[in-house]
Structure formats: C-alpha cells, structure tokens
Structure 1
Amino acid sequence: MELGHTQRLGQWLTLARQGQVDARNEIIAHACERLRLLTRKMLKNYPKVKRWSETDDVLQNAMIRLHRSLAEIQPETPRQFYGLATTQIRRELIDLARHHFGAHGNGANHLTDGGEAANQEIDGREPESLDSWSKFHEAVEGLPEDQREVVNLLWYEGISQPDAAKLLGISLATLKRRWQSARITLGKLIEEIQLGE
C-alpha cells in the first residue's frame, strides 16, 4: 500500500468530519477491500466454515460494524481509523468462530453431507482450528498497544513496514522490533493452543 493512499485516507477523514458523505463512502470502500482479502484468507482453508458463512456475508457484517462505529466515532487520523477498522474486523472474525463452532453452533453439531460422510467421524480439527483463529484474534487485542498497532497495520491492513513506520511516526527499526516482539508473543500463544489440541 502506498503512503499516498494513507494521505488520501487522512483527507477523506477530514472531509467526513466536515459531514461530506462521499468521503465516508471512500473510507468504507477502502476498509471493504481489505476486509474481503482477510476474510478470504481466513476462510479458504476451512471448507466446512464456508458452508455456513460466505466471504461476502462476513464482509457485510463487519462493514455494518464499521459503519456504526464511524457514526459514533470520527477518527481524526489514518492511525486512529486503522485501529478502529481492525478492531471491528477482529470482533467479527471472533464472533464468526463462536457463532458457528461454539457449543451450540451449527458447525459444531451438524453434519449433512449424506452418503459416506454421514457414517464418518466429524473431523474435530477444523472447529478447533477456527477456534485457534478466534484465540489468535483475541490475543492480538490483548497485546500492548504499541505492538497491537503494528500488527493491525501490517497483518490486518496489509501496509508495508516503511509506510507503517511513517504512519506511526517511528523509525523502521523500532517498527521491526515491535513487530518481532508481537510475533514472539503471538507465537507462544499459538504454540500453547497447538499443545492443547
């Protein structure tokens, strides 16, 4: 992502705070495309999840969350916007995992493939894998703020490291240290999740 886009986002945020609807639409369009990519990334490896939720369904729910948030909160900077957008993305993905694979979810308690599949044992790894995604997103929310901001920008928003450093007003070396610290923390969590499965 180019820094030019971040600068345009800053202009759209200013115009949105002034009440210009077109600017809010541009902001939503940006978030929509990034969320679509993230949703595809998460769902592509889980065909049983796709059975219950399509990318566009998840996208619509997350966009509704973001739209509601933007009606109440008017971010002043791209940094604040990215924080708000990634929070809404994470919450929707966590809710998706809980909804479909919680104790009473359709995905956890329903098999209707028929034929041979009806006689096979349900693959217990898939819901646990989705549960692992949910735990990952929750862990990101629990990171220290400086690390969470870096994860939000690099992983959720897909911004390059140099552009993220400029956006945060820190050196590239500092960004890389925060990214490494976040990855170590999240890596330990993933290891614990895998040991528990």
Structure 2
Amino acid sequence: MSLEGLSDEALLALVARGDEEALRWLFRRYAGSFLALARRMGLDAAAQEDVVQEAFVRVWKNARQFDPRRASARAWLLAVGHHTAVDHLRRLEARPKALEPQGEDGEEAFDLPGDGLNEEGHLDRVRLQRALKRLSPEEREAIEVLYYQGHSHQEAARLLGIPLGTLKTRARRALLRLKEELHEP
C-alpha cells in the first residue's frame, strides 16, 4: 500500500502505531521545513541536521500525543520542529540571527523559514510576505522574536520591554490575522 496520497493526519496516526514508512513520508514532506527553520534561527549546517534528526525522533516518540481536535497535523509537526530548534539553541547557549528586512523598495519584507507552501499545498512565500506586512509593527515584532529568533514568551517579553500578557495577546492576535490573511477562499 502506498502512503503517498495520505494526509499528514493519517500519516501521524500510522506513526503513532509504529509505522516506519509513514514516518519516512512525513520526513519527505517536512525535513526541508525543519532544516530551513534551524538555518533561519542561526544554526550552522551540522546543528541544522541535528535539529531535523532530533525533531523526527520526537515525532516518532510523541505521535500518540497528536490530537487533531487541537491542531492540524501540519501545525503540530511545525511546532515540534520549532521547539526542537529552540531547545537546541538553548543547549548551545546561542542566540539566533534577527529577521532582516529584505525589500528592494525600502519596505520591510519578511521571509518564512523553508520553502513555504507550493503546488503541493504549501504556503507561498509572496503571500506570507504580504500577510506579514499587514500586521501591525508590534504584532510583526512579536512574531519575529518568538518564531524567527526562537525566544520563549518570557524572554521575548523581557527583550521587548512589555508585560508577558501583552506579548501573548499580540502574538495570538498576529497568528489569527496571519491565518485569516493566508486562508484560501
């Protein structure tokens, strides 16, 4: 039986039952995103590969914890990759690179780690850049510090000089706005 056409949710259910082939399919789909996230967070090539390997070990060990009522499989997998990279950074006592503006016209242009979604249903970089530009500066800053630089909520609040609750509100509002902006009609 080919697993190629199965959804991420179905593959995770198989991984939870010990199906190694399902894990290989998830690896094919997500290894590039995990690698790019680790690269964006400032890790060197060897550390990036370590993050990918460690993330998939976590997926293998924790697939039973995935609950499709709480998040999509994609969101859960990307969270595993993100947490793995953050944990790796903390172990190295390293700080990632800041997200740099890249626009040619002087406007800020932000980039998502990884290839983004493409013809296989993955997020398009251009759409993401446009969506990020529509966030308020405070919301964009919260996303940058939390997801691109890999700081915990407590660290991010301290770095930005704002209360923890304010940071969490900004981040949640930003993620909801991004979800709305990126939703296909």
TM-score by length of 1: 0.45
Give the number of the structure with larger relative contact order, counting CA–CA contacts within 8 Å between residues 6 or more apart. 1
Q: Is the helix fraction higher in 1 or 2?
A: 1
The structure with the largest alpha-carbon Rg is 1
TM-score by length of 2: 0.47
